[in-house]
Chain A
């Protein structure tokens, strides 16, 4: 995508396994003994595909993604296996994981305002991500940064690069987060509730943008959300989680047309439908 980037672009072969997670268990010590916040999760992400992980708050979906990044909060331990392009990630030192973070696996977080440092320009924050892995001059990093901002459709990127996070709207900030995540062309992008903090129209724009960028770069994606409607738009495969356990997994079509688990059915039932004649709050009736 960029002349300034010395990296060769290798679009992964579609259909080959990018990420393979097997028997992932994440444990935290508590005063009442260890607690498993993720229990025996197994799933895979194919190159260029999107896996949607769905679940309510506390279902362990975010902990799953942090385990992949090697960024579990203090005290958390992950067991099982996480393989990226066939290479095991679990058990690596922080120094080794640092090379994976950002470069191979990048992440977009829920609240773009608090996820950006208010004291630095957005340009600097993207530049430092690029330079952490590619080194090179600031000037080169700046060129890459402006290109990345243009790719996420930020108008007047050459000027906006020197602005601070608070000078952007919520949707724009999330575009900046996406630019930051994609400037290194990671193999896998983990989007953790990337549209939850945004209003519906902006949400649609961000989803479109993500889909478009994914087509361009062939990045595999894990899309974490509590919103089934969103998942149905973006994901080929879906994993439903509840209380740290994997409730159901399969292709999006299977899950939406023929949910097997009672919990999935309950989630689906909770969605408002335009063709539903009886417009009553379903949860409230029970």
Chain B
């Protein structure tokens, strides 16, 4: 058991190293020279050289990569003497456009993305699993068709469209909600909730649509299993048969999906955050791409990858508890 987990962790570390290497390679080769960008229009070759030295861009690839990697664990210093810039560990790079360390920028945006992810996740799990179950148990009825039609809409309508529609309806037309504002929970709990409600709904709609379809398929599949017939042949009560025998096999696969999706959202909901002007990691990503702020793009890319890898690992571990066939080897 411990060995299994240890193996997983080692594999995850390996994957993360590879991802960091590839990300680094891409930016090393493909993107325009950051020194030129920072230097601006009135630039001399000497000045460019100076910046290159300061950023370590004059070094060979492996040395740059090594500096980047070790920076994550020990921090690093850009330049020398009075002009030196300290980037404390875990240093994911330094943005010379904003003069902030990438780590600080991400940490500052994280709370918004986490809030967004948690709220949306609660909503979509509730709606997705509930809808899927209802739809499966009432298969072929109006309930089933209603849920599946809604799900189809959720899957096919783009996020930004739903977001704009919702804003138009709830804020402009019906005036049920104020314009979303960036307040913290401590400042104004009600406004905080009202501001997050629409982004939560928009994000949750898409995911709930997918989840309800998957849960429906899983439940219908489970209902056709032989052990369901056995359960009924024992004389068990209908609801008990459903609750005890159908639910667990149907919902266990959803855990895998949820781990990935949730981790993905922690890495930023690019579209939703942008549409609603939420200052999260997704917005940061979008902004850095627009400005071609490479250290930041690389930082958020690595973060997103790391989150998914870690989530994947956690899901694997969770599975050993959820599915006895994974947990205990046959005797």
User: A128-B244, A166-B330, A168-B331 are contacts. A117–B227 as well, Cβ < 8 Å?
Assistant: yes
B38 at interface (Cβ–Cβ under 8 A)?
Answer: no
Question: Across the interface, do A119 and B249 meet the contact criterion of CB distance under 8 Å?
Answer: yes
A98 at interface (Cβ–Cβ under 8 A)?
Answer: yes
Q: Which of A125, A132, A177 contacts B235 (CB 8 A)?
A: A132
B175 at interface (Cβ–Cβ under 8 A)?
Answer: no
B138 at interface (Cβ–Cβ under 8 A)?
Answer: no
Question: Across the interface, do B229 and A167 meet the contact criterion of CB distance under 8 Å?
Answer: no
User: A118-B324, A164-B328 are contacts. A111–B226 as well, Cβ < 8 Å?
Assistant: yes
Q: Mark B215-234, 1 if CB is under 8 A from A, else 0.
A: 00000000001110111111
Q: Which of B226, B234, B248, B328 contacts A180 (CB 8 A)?
A: B234
Question: Across the interface, do B233 and A164 meet the contact criterion of CB distance under 8 Å?
Answer: no
Question: Across the interface, do A114 and B233 meet the contact criterion of CB distance under 8 Å?
Answer: no
Q: Mark A78-105, 1 if CB is under 8 A from B, else 0.
A: 0000000000000000100011111100
Question: Across the interface, do A107 and B324 meet the contact criterion of CB distance under 8 Å?
Answer: no
Look across to chain A and name the residue whose beta carbon is closest to the beta carbon of B228: A117
Question: Across the interface, do B233 and A71 meet the contact criterion of CB distance under 8 Å?
Answer: yes
A282 at interface (Cβ–Cβ under 8 A)?
Answer: no
User: A119-B248, A167-B330, A167-B331 are contacts. A106–B233 as well, Cβ < 8 Å?
Assistant: yes
Q: For the complex, what is the distance from the CA of A180 to the CA of B302, rounded to whole Å?
A: 53
Question: Across the interface, do A114 and B232 meet the contact criterion of CB distance under 8 Å?
Answer: no
Question: Across the interface, do B324 and A164 meet the contact criterion of CB distance under 8 Å?
Answer: yes
Q: For the complex, what is the distance from the CA of A180 to the CA of B233, rounded to whole Å?
A: 11
Look across to chain B and name the residue whose beta carbon is closest to the beta carbon of A71: B232
User: A164-B325, A167-B330 are contacts. A101–B227 as well, Cβ < 8 Å?
Assistant: no
User: A115-B227, A115-B230, A119-B249 are contacts. A166–B324 as well, Cβ < 8 Å?
Assistant: yes
Q: Mark B242-265, 1 if CB is under 8 A from A, else 0.
A: 001100110010000000000000
| Chain B residues in 8 Å Cβ range of A128 | 234, 236, 240, 244
What is the minimal beta-carbon distance from A166 to any residue of chain B, in angstroms?
A: 5
Question: Across the interface, do B249 and A118 meet the contact criterion of CB distance under 8 Å?
Answer: yes
Q: For the complex, what is the distance from the CA of A18 to the CA of B229, rounded to whole Å?
A: 24
Q: For the complex, what is the distance from the CA of A119 to the CA of B328, rounded to whole Å?
A: 11
Question: Across the interface, do A133 and B235 meet the contact criterion of CB distance under 8 Å?
Answer: yes
Question: Across the interface, do A101 and B249 meet the contact criterion of CB distance under 8 Å?
Answer: no
Question: Across the interface, do B235 and A115 meet the contact criterion of CB distance under 8 Å?
Answer: no
In this complex, the member of B227, B236, B330, B331 whose beta carbon has the largest number of chain A beta carbons within 10 angstroms is: B227
Q: For the complex, what is the distance from the CA of A125 to the CA of B245, rounded to whole Å?
A: 10
B238 at interface (Cβ–Cβ under 8 A)?
Answer: yes
**Which chain B residues (78-120) contact chain A, with CB distance < 8 Å?**
none
List 15 additional A-B contacts (Cβ < 8 Å) besides A71-B229, A125-B230.
A71-B232, A94-B238, A98-B236, A100-B235, A107-B230, A109-B229, A111-B226, A114-B227, A115-B226, A115-B227, A115-B230, A118-B324, A119-B324, A128-B234, A132-B235
10 contacts between A and B (CB under 8 A): A69-B233, A101-B233, A103-B235, A106-B234, A109-B229, A109-B233, A118-B227, A118-B323, A128-B244, A132-B237
Interface, chain A (partner B; CB < 8 A): 69, 71, 94, 98-103, 106-107, 109, 111, 114-121, 125, 128-129, 132-133, 163-164, 166-168, 177, 180
Q: Considering the complex of A and B, which 6 residue pairs feature the smallest CB-CB distances, nearest first?
A: A102-B235, A101-B235, A129-B234, A114-B226, A117-B227, A102-B234
